[in-house]
């Protein structure tokens, strides 16, 4: 769940992101570095977090439900054993549901020794693999798709751990960035299409890995490079770094929604400033679907860069027409529908002086179910707006994501069931328009979308999924039920 988008979360009306991972080896106080790195990645997952450390002899783990600041406050952090190697994870549950047993990094004692794994992404054939592993006698301790990888590594017959790890990953499909720790060091890897992000840096003599470059800014590390799609980077306790590319050369398909919404705007994603891309999306919006208006207003906070770009390109003044309170809890945890709706009003207030009597252009990053957008428009009407024109800094979200983003089923996506005119009527806007898929690609520095070989994963907009979706196909074809899982207190 994203800290940077406060209009959360009326009936799941915002795309909830995947997770964030962090790892360090060779640091004097790896656990403190990891906790600080996780703070920087908090926007990627706010349900739970965990840290696993290695002191040269033993692995230690601490996990908890909630934000990093609460789970790893002073006393709790002091209880985590020190060591020069640690990895961490912030989580929003996509596969497996909430609960402490699914909090990562996961850890297991294998025949070769301790093995921990932190995963960002989603394995789209996890249930198929799990059924076969259970038939072979595997006993699962969580409902997370990540645990499938541990069992595949444990049952592989290859002689070395690295070979067993490669063997396991050859069997999975979907999206993953992984940070794994063994007694010999860290292995960081990215799926062959590079759907989920992963970057590498240095902090003195230590090597660090993270989902986003902003984590390096926060801990004072130097950004080195992105991990390439399909690459495995191995770092031992002497600081020796080796790169392995066991999956050959595959055309990369990184998630384009990282640029639209998920990543922090102060991150650099695959060589591109996320903030600059979001501003450019606003420029493309103004070029493609400008309308006569008196003021451009962002939906805080994720609509801010695109609104700046739109205003600059169109010449329409930018104003803060919605003021956000930073001291109200997340709306999605409120116990009743009425309480959630009231909480939106406590969290946001229309800036009437900038709205009343004016034709306004509202800029937001996406529309999912449309319920939140409808309430924003209503807020502007109540504040006296003469006209409300809604502009969206992404194409219509018409398809579910199976790569680690929690999207509603397709039938509940507004753009999958209505055309743009009907959507405008639903949210009660005077007009509604989305940036085109080619406009989005231009904003990230491409000439346009290459239909034969797209440069990004954009399946949520186009239904062009870059991998097989085995579990989903099974559900649709055979209505297979998930395996029963015993309850853990």
- Indicate which residue of 19, 289, 401, 460 is catalytic: 19
**90-117 burial code (b ≥16 CB/10 A, e <16):** bbbbbbbeebebbbbbbbeeeeeebbbb
Q: Name beta bridge partners: 359.
A: 387
Can you tell me the distance from the alpha carbon of 169 to that of 140, in angstroms, rounded to the nearest whole number?
A: 18
Give catalytic status of residue 401 as yes or no: no
For the record, the structure tokens of 423 come out as 């959507």
CB-based contacts of 248, cutoff 8 Å, min separation 6: 192, 230
For the chain, how are helix, strand and coil distributed in percent, rounded to 5? 35, 25, 45
Can you tell me the distance from the alpha carbon of 341 to that of 334, in angstroms, rounded to the nearest whole number?
A: 9
151 neighbors 138 (Cβ within 8 angstroms) = yes
Query: Collapsing DSSP states into helix, strand and coil, what is residue 55?
Result: coil
Phi and psi angles of residue 182, each rounded to the nearest 5 degrees, phi first: -125, 175
Query: Collapsing DSSP states into helix, strand and coil, what is residue 220?
Result: coil
For the record, the structure tokens of 74 come out as 């002073």
Nearest in space to 298 (alpha carbons), one of 308, 289, 290, 283: 308
- By annotation, the residues acting in catalysis are 19
């Amino acid at each position: 769940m994203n800290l940077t988008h406060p209009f959360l979360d009326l009936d799941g009306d915002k795309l909830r992101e995947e997770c964030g991972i962090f790892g360090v080896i060779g640091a004097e106080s790896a656990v403190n570095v990891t906790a600080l790195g996780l703070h920087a990645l908090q926007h990627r997952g706010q349900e739970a977090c965990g840290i696993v450390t290695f002191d040269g002899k033993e692995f230690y783990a601490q996990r908890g439900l909630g934000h990093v600041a609460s789970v790893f406050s002073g006393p709790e952090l002091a209880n985590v054993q020190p060591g020069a190697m640690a990895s961490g994870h912030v989580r929003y549950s996509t596969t497996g549901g909430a609960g402490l047993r699914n909090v990562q990094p996961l850890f297991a004692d294998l025949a070769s020794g301790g093995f921990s794994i932190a995963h960002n992404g989603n394995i789209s054939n996890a249930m198929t693999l799990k059924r076969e592993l259970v038939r072979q006698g595997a006993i699962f301790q969580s409902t997370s798709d990540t645990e499938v990888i541990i069992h595949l590594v444990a049952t592989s017959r290859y002689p070395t751990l690295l070979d067993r790890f490669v063997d396991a990953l050859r069997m999975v499909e979907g999206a993953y960035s992984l940070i794994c720790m063994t007694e010999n060091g860290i292995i960081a890897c990215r799926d062959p299409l590079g759907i989920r992000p992963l970057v590498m840096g240095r902090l003195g003599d230590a090597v660090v890995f993270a989902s986003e470059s902003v984590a390096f800014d926060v801990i004072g590390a130097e950004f080195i490079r992105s991990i390439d799609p399909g690459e495995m980077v191995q770092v031992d306790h002497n600081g020796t770094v080796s790169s392995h590319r066991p999956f050959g050369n595959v055309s990369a398909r990184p998630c384009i929604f990282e640029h639209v919404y998920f990543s922090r705007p102060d991150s650099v994603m695959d060589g591109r400033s996320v903030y600059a891309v979001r501003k450019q999306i606003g420029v493309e919006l103004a070029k493609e679907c400008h309308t006569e208006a008196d003021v451009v207003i962002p939906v805080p906070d994720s609509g801010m860069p695109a609104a700046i770009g739109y205003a600059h390109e169109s010449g329409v003044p930018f104003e803060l027409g919605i003021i956000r309170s930073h001291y109200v809890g997340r709306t999605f945890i409120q116990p009743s529908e009425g309480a959630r709706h009231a909480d939106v009003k406590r969290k946001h207030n229309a800036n009437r002086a900038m709205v009343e009597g004016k034709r306004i252009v509202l800029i937001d990053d996406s529309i999912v179910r449309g319920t939140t957008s409808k309430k924003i428009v209503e807020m502007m009407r109540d504040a006296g707006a003469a006209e409300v024109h809604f502009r969206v800094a992404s194409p219509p979200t018409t398809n579910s994501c199976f790569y680690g983003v929690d999207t509603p089923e397709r039938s509940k996506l507004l753009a999958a069931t209505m055309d743009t005119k009907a959507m405008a009527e639903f949210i009660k806007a005077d007009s509604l328009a989305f940036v085109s898929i080619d406009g989005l690609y231009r904003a990230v520095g491409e000439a346009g979308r290459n239909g034969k070989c797209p440069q990004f994963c954009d399946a949520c907009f186009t239904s062009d999924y870059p991998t097989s979706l085995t579990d989903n196909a099974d559900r649709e074809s055979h209505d297979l039920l998930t395996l029963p899982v015993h309850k853990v207190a």
